[in-house]
Structure formats: structure tokens, C-alpha cells
Amino acid sequence: MFSHINIRAKFSIALLSVGLIPLLFIGIVSLLRSSHALSKQAFGQLHSLREVKKTQLEKYFADRQTEMGALIETVATLRQAAFDKLASVQENKKAQIEAHIAQHIKNINVLSKTTTVIDALKRFRVAFGAEEDDMVGGELYEFLETLFGEALQQFTEGYGYEDLYLITRDGTIVYSVQKDMDEGQNLLDGHLRNSSLAQGFEKGLREVTFQDFAPYPISDNQYFAFLLAPIIDQVGRDSSNFIISGETHQPPASALNPDRDPNEAFGVLARCAWKIFNG
């Protein structure tokens, strides 16, 4: 291939090759180094960008975590405030209910010492026992109704209740102002024997008793409570073991409005009944 080229030309080509090869090598090395440097710079920029993004994300999540913590604390504070308010309301309602019960216990004590009530209890017991088959009604019974009915009605209305009953020591209801279905029934062996009134009956023969709210069959199982107290005569002796008991319907929330008169609230919004027992 190079046979027709003279020595001078060959020598020139050789010298040129000797000069170009290092230059080519240097160029290739420089290119590789430049490429590596550019790659390193690019990766460095990507790394820096990644660190910036990482920092931003970490800050974002840290801020959200702080906000979430503050939100949780706020919710906890509001929740605690709500529970505190509810507890306060419950305590107020409890105090109002206890005040109502205390007032009606005082009322029943006063009523238990009333001569008219004691006399009525004794006479109705005699009238009931004098009737055939121990049934309510009859001439003597009607006479006593005429004699005491108005006074007993006034007692009922005066204390803000709906009914007044006379019940014997053996548990028989012998008188009712409103003539409810429980008149003539027995608390100890009748279908009222499991009622809350029957449960408080024995204790009520001995002392003032509050029998808590429970379904009462005569009133479609609505919740009633009962107040019971021994009847004491004017010289402080037990009057033939008579007792008096009050039946109180569970009052609605509106009845516990502290701005209302307690007797009005309990009398108008609660269905209440006094029950009297003869020992």
C-alpha cells in the first residue's frame, strides 16, 4: 500500500502519526475527564436538590405534626371542658332533684302529723272492713268520702300532687281521691306485690322512706318514686301504725328549671300521688 510512497513522505507520515497519537490520547482523556466532571456536577446538583426537597418535606411533616399536636391538645381541652360542663350540669340537676325530694320529705312529715289525715285513715279502715268482701264503696264509705274527700283533695292539690290514697297495714288500698285502678288492690299479694311501692311498704311502716324510681304497673309502667312516713299523733306516739306514702312521677328536664318555683315545677310537670297506709 505504501510501496509507491517515497521515504520522505513515509518519514513525514511517521512524524505526523507520532504527534497526533498523543494529541488524540490527550483529547480522549480530556473528554472522559470532562464527561466525568460534568456527570459528577450533575449528580452533585441532583443530590443538593434532593437534600433541599428532603429538608422541605421534613419541615412540612414537622409543621403538620406540630399542628396535629396542637389540634389534639385543643380537642382534648374542648372535650375536658365539655365533660366539666356536663359534670357541672349533672351536679346542678342532682342538687335540684335532691332539693325536691328533701322538700317533699318535709311535706310528707307535715302531712303525716295532720289530725284530719289520721282521723280519715282510721275511719276509712273501719269502713272498708265493714263492707261485704272488704270492697270499697257502700253507704258508710260514701259518707266518709263526703266527710273527708274535700279535705284530702285540698291536701293533694296543696302539695302539688295528683292523687291521695289510703292503704291498710295488710297492704290493701282502701281509698283513692282520683279513684285509680289500684283502689281496692293489695300490695302484698296482688299484682302490685313486685312494685316499688310494695318494696318500700314495710320500711315505710317504721321510718320516712324514699323508694327510688321504677316502673309502676297501674300507670302503664311509667317510672314512679315513693315517699313513705309513719303517721305520728300529736303527742308523738305512733297512731295505730298508720303510714303515709307519696308516689312521684319522674319529672321532665324542664321541671328542673332553677328559675321556676320548685313546687310549681314538680306539681305541674310531674304526675304525683300521695298514698296513705293504715297499720
Average pLDDT of 70-82? 90
Q: How many degrees, rounded to 5, is the angle at CA 62 between CA 59 and CA 67? A: 125
pLDDT category of residue 98 using cuts at 50, 70 and 90: confident
Note the pLDDT tens digit of each residue in 254-277: 444 444 443 433 333 233 334 444
Q: How far apart are the first and last CA of the chain?
A: 150
Its pTM stands at 0.56
Please name the CATH architecture into which domain 114-278 falls: 2-Layer Sandwich (3.30)
Q: Which has more pLDDT, 89 or 197?
A: 89
Q: Please give the sequence-ordered ranges of beta strands (E in DSSP) within the chain, or none if there are none.
A: 163-168, 173-176, 209-216, 222-232, 238-249, 272-278
- Which pLDDT value is given to residue 170? 78
Quick check: 196 pLDDT over 60? yes
Instruction: Note the pLDDT tens digit of each residue in 38-70.
Output: 888 878 888 888 888 888 898 998 888 888 888
Mean pLDDT, range 213-222, rounded to an integer: 84
Could you give the residue ranges of the DSSP H alpha helices within 113-232? 115-130, 139-158, 196-204
Query: Over 60: is that where the pLDDT of 36 sits?
Result: yes
Residue boundaries of the structural domains of the chain: 114-278
Q: Tell me the per-residue pLDDT of 199-214, one tens digit each, with 9 for 90 and over.
A: 888 887 788 888 888 8
| pLDDT reading at 279 higher than 50 | no
Task: Give me the pLDDT at residue 271, please.
Answer: 34
In this predicted structure, what is the pLDDT of residue 1? 53
The angle formed by the CA atoms of residues 77, 81 and 85, to the nearest 5 degrees, is: 175
In the chain, % of residues over pLDDT 70: 73
